[in-house]
Structure 1
Amino acid sequence: MIIKEGAVAGFGVLCVHAHPDDEAIWTGGTLARYADEGARTAVVTCTWAEGTVRAGELERSLGVLGAGEPRLLGYADANKPESAPGAPRFLDVPFDEAVGRVVGHIRRFRPDVVLTYDAYGSYGHPDHVHAHRVTMAAVEAAGYDQLHPGTGEPWRPRALYLSTVPRSVVVSHWRSVFGTDPEPGQTLPGVPDDQVTTRLDVGRWAERKWEAMHAHASEVGRGASMTLLTGLPEQARAQMLANEWYRRVGHTGPPETALGA
């Protein structure tokens, strides 16, 4: 079953992100689109704790996107101990502990599809890379009754999507920002264009996505992704806001324009 013109009632979309604001930057259009089409949508955020400024911003962003209440693991950001006072860094907790926490959310929410970052963490941030690894393991583990007992009944999502950007888009925007091509051999975000399996047209929800991004007021002008987007020429920024790209794990069929199940 492919959800083409509108989500089937009850279809579940669960995103796993590293930080508050990533839900809006990388999957904001997807969340808004599917919420409007009748799907259940939710976001697990691996870092920052309840009561912090950015947790409050996350709550406002999720409200704009129709994605429910924050689901915070409460670990500390790699470089910001104030993100979760007294808690360990997400990078430092035992891997199986973090996997089990995400397994619990998968089993309780019972999504049809799970979305997280590609293996490079979209742009190489260590928390993003770790969230990718944890989510990959959790999606697999959630279906086994032998693993992580006490976190709910086993549940196996039908598909796992990795948020990414086509390399051609990265290079084009690089030229827009810096006026030149990347240096030969330079490490770039994204994947070769032929590895992108799914492009979602979220143009109708671009304004909502932009509003959700700006709910993270503490990051506007500070966060790397926010700074890049606000610094892009208007036409390039409009393209980024109106499209979200994914690589569906294990997909071998034709390119998708909707999340599959």
Structure 2
Amino acid sequence: MAEPGLLCVHAHPDDEALWTGGVLAKYAGAGARTGVVTCTWAEGTRRAGELERSLDILGAGAPRLLGYADSGVPDSAPGAPPFSEAPFDEVTERLVGQIRRFRPDVVITYDAYGGYGHPDHVRAHRATVAAVEAAGHDQLYPESGAPWQPRALYLVTVARSVVAEVWREAFGERAEDGGPLPGVPDERITTVVDVRPWADRKWAALHAHVSEVERGAAFTRLTSLPAPLRDRLLGTEWYLRRDLVPAAGPGRDLPGEGLL
């Protein structure tokens, strides 16, 4: 029998490290099969190469690229449509194929807001929710492989109390003074994973994305945070669990603490 499997679906290279790097490293180290589907960027591009190095650090296998363009970056996949504008059914079918080939017990993607509202993240959430349901039905996408039903979907998010704290430190203003907030109210969080033992590996995987480090963006804000807050962000991952099979139905916990 194959080891339990965990498959993440992310929009861009570096998201796998930033959002789920701790869980990927934790469960790979415990003997689970782990993998990452990345919806944008094409083989042969610089960021695809960086993704390969990041996945190697996290123990998550080879890149699984859908090959769409990063919205606003046409050179990320020349000739391909932006991921956020690609036909929804086409995206869903490709994800169904990935799920049926990998046969994961658990699938992870973003919450409904895509973490922070990026259109590619929102599309990844919506298509993954559709795909985990469709993958178990033999009537749907029969050319994409034998049916496979993951037992649970986890939506990676951030506790709203932490968002408010980060906002003050990173931007010098109250979170409520801006637009829609990332994350969800603390009481909605179903799973908090302590990934502090794997934080160094998560940080190393983030730094494998050299082009993003050079560009600044999230890395600049992370490094500018007070060390205790940065360590808290890197050392904790927050999730919303959605069961896809009855709780009493067949299924296996991933090794370790059984949090997923």
Task: Output the TM-score relative to the length of structure 1.
Answer: 0.91
Give 1:1-261 correspondences, 5 Å limit: 10-184=3-177, 186-222=179-215, 224-250=217-243, 258-260=258-260
Moved more, 142-151 or 242-251: 242-251
Q: Distance in 1 between matches of 2:11 and 2:31?
A: 26
Letter in 2 for 1:29: G
Shift of residue 16 of structure 1? 0.1
Q: Distance in 1 between matches of 2:33 and 2:21?
A: 14
Q: Which blocks of at least 5 consecutive residues in structure 1 are unaligned? A: 1-7
Moved more, 22-31 or 227-236: 227-236
Q: Distance in 1 between matches of 2:217 and 2:155?
A: 20
Asked if the contact 2:163/2:183 (under 8 Å) is kept, the reply is yes
Shift of residue 154 of structure 1? 0.3
Q: Which blocks of at least 5 consecutive residues in structure 2 are unaligned? A: 248-256
Q: Distance in 2 between matches of 1:222 and 1:180?
A: 24
What stretches of structure 1 move > 4 A for 4+ residues in a row?
none
Shift of residue 182 of structure 1? 2.3
Q: Which has the higher helix share?
A: 2
Q: Distance in 1 between matches of 2:122 and 2:60?
A: 23
Q: Distance in 2 between matches of 1:228 and 1:153?
A: 44
Q: Distance in 1 between matches of 2:5 and 2:104?
A: 4
Q: Distance in 2 between matches of 1:185 and 1:78?
A: 23
Q: Percent identity?
A: 67
Q: Distance in 2 between matches of 1:183 and 1:107?
A: 42
Asked if the contact 2:151/2:243 (under 8 Å) is kept, the reply is no
Structure 1 counterpart SS, 2:90:
helix
